[in-house]
Structure 1
């Protein structure tokens, strides 16, 4: 099945037997929960004080302000280059580097980079470098903690809307407008709220930081850089206001992406392919995910007679692996296949006749780089694994909050995760 998706490029996905994927995925969640009830009866994961400290030299390198400034300057040069190509490069989308660099190499590449290196965009973010040059910033810094991660959720929603809804999203001028607008908005916010804005309001940094919590790199409460289990890292995610909203936006956007590839959408609400239907569809899927998640967590809290505890926020960290699984499933083939286009066009970014810097400009995308069977296995494996890890983290969180509560209190959230699994796989394969 080949459909246009994700701003630019095509996805080539061969579904495995749908019934096996759907019922097998749901069954895997139930079996995982049963095993946890039998063999995981006390908290076992580390917290924000755990981990093996890295060598002092590596700590100094990671925390060096000069190193960070140099990396941010390099990222700024790359961003400026992409902007220049968007403004002055070829007008033909397949020949313009900018949309491929933004929607594929950067947005999708942020996932493996963060999983391997931790919250990498916090270190590379070029807007942090520009913000330090703003005079008189931080006038309302004391108001920022009250906002939590809600600004980051809004920022992420704005980007996924751009990526999934407008018909002209891959036009180089649209990409240029987004890059300029994004920089202006966040620099203005950084001037008002101070440097702490980016950790709360920059959607890309919030996203990378959450994904980085599933890496082996962590920080103890005293700031020491440590190596520890990704599961322990995930449990150490602060339950900030707006964390659940960020996770819901990520899940809702991938759900909408799957919905747009169903025959029902393409012949029904999405037939007009306009802004209104796309926007309403994205809002509806995000609202549906939010309703299911809130119902599951709040019902679990009520069954456990735990009142006054913000369950949606406390359990949001357990949904991060699920969001990651959906992201890998939806973007894997795009990154491996269409991601080649970025490097092909980088050999002649401005489309000047006779220029071929790396000798790749005449190349075409190698569709044999990964087979359809491998794509299908990665998709199903990512979704199911994400949910199994999510159930594990939710069980650990429940044991920490109410160690003497009956296991049945967790059932509403587990059932929601099963619904997410079956629904996510169904939408992924255009059911």
Structure 2
């Protein structure tokens, strides 16, 4: 049923294009000036980043208390995972929460970054640094770690990011810090965000506007592959076949070494699929809605709930909505650059990948 919906939407968009009509509308509405000024003011941003620092301290403190007094606090790791999921969902609804809450944005840039020399700034501005950090965060969240080991992993991650920021400046987070990068990608679907056609004025907008207006960045396909690998590993780690395979190899199915191997294999496979599905680099942005849908679905199905059928139905609906938005975004992006015949050819591999993804949603997240 999901695959049929994707095929149907793709056919409808193509038929409209043949008649000279656009796909889904890219509407936008300016926000009231007072709201826009408040959103861009430094004071609220500084307060939110202080809140983010406090949240990180609370998460680490919770894990340490739980490791010292396990009878006093149950499911501390689940609380940390729920906090991460809340950041993702809030990014979808309200914008780049990962950036707004980033405690590393409170750090002062190094002297070299305060007085930049354009001739010396030859470093890449791509998203490559976010690939290993995204895989590292995924491994920590998926593996079955006790609170003390998870706290140690998060402290190690925080120290690595702090070292990078000390050398490169806080702006490094926008291309290297996993939470900020993935949150920023999810925020492209938020109903409030910048309109690049109007000098980044904050507007209420269509979910597609932030995707269609995105500028291609080097390394994006790698980040999407790492994100996809994390989702695939989270789903596979619950499956019986993975438990049997890991046990046969002498590994604990949910241990960090086994999860790291699973993530690496999923990353290699996702890299190949994404490269094949997006022959033009700009099309990689069209995959963001589909991955957002899968992120919501995997997060929801990991929650304990008395009514699993309702939860799985909502999760499957999120996957389907994400795939439909990806088809619409790809159609908009290709027809804006090519004639209709060439646009169909360019987006054909992506449509095939989205159809396959929608068809595989039911056995992974529930009814469909």
| Fold match by TM threshold 0.5 | yes
Query: Structure 2 unaligned runs (5+)?
Result: none
CA distance change for structure 1 residues 122 and 37 in 2, over 3 Å: closer, same or farther? Answer: same
8 Å CA contact retained: 1:321, 1:390:
yes
RMSD: 2.6
CA 110–326 in structure 1, closer or farther in 2 if over 3 Å, else same = same
- Rounded to whole Å, the distance in 1 between the matches of 2:161 and 2:353 is 35
Q: Structure 1: how far apart are the matches of 2:3 and 2:33?
A: 45
- Is 1:156 the counterpart of 2:129? The answer is no
Normalised TM-score (structure 2): 0.87
Distance (Å, rounded) in 2 between the aligned partners of 1:28 and 1:172: 43
Secondary structure of the corresponding residue to residue 108 of structure 1: helix
1:396 matches 2:332:
yes
Mapping for residues 355-394 of structure 1, pairs under 5 Å: 367-368=305-306, 371-394=307-330
Match of 1:294 among 275, 280, 294: 275
CA distance in 2, matches of 1:94, 1:160: 27
1:325 equivalenced with 2:293 (yes/no): yes
Instruction: Say whether residues 1:183 and 2:120 are aligned partners.
Output: no
Map of 1:417 onto structure 2: 354
What SS does the aligned partner of 1:230 have? coil
1:264 aligns with 2:241: yes
Sort the Cα spacing of 1:269 and 1:144 in 2 relative to 1 into closer, same or farther, 3 A: farther
1:249 has 2:201 as partner? no
Q: Unpaired segments of 5 or more residues in structure 1? A: 1-23, 299-310, 338-366
Contact persistence 1:118–1:213 (CA under 8 A): yes
CA distance in 1, matches of 2:193, 2:25: 11
Calculate the TM-score normalised by the size of structure 1. Answer: 0.75
Change (3 A) 1:143 1:179: farther
Distance 1:260 1:270 in 2: 12
Cα distance between partner residues in 1 of 2:324 and 2:200: 30
- Alpha-carbon distance between aligned partners in 2 of 1:143 and 1:94, rounded to the nearest angstrom: 52
Q: With a CA cutoff of 8 Å and minimum separation of 6, indicate the structure with the bigger relative contact order.
A: 1
State how far apart, in whole Å, the 1-side matches of 2:71 and 2:288 are.
33
Aligned with 1:208 (options 183, 202, 217): 183
2:40 aligned with 1:63: yes
Which has more helix, going by share of residues?
2
* Deviation at residue 318 of structure 1 after TM alignment: 0.7
CA contact (8 A) 1:297 1:413 kept: yes
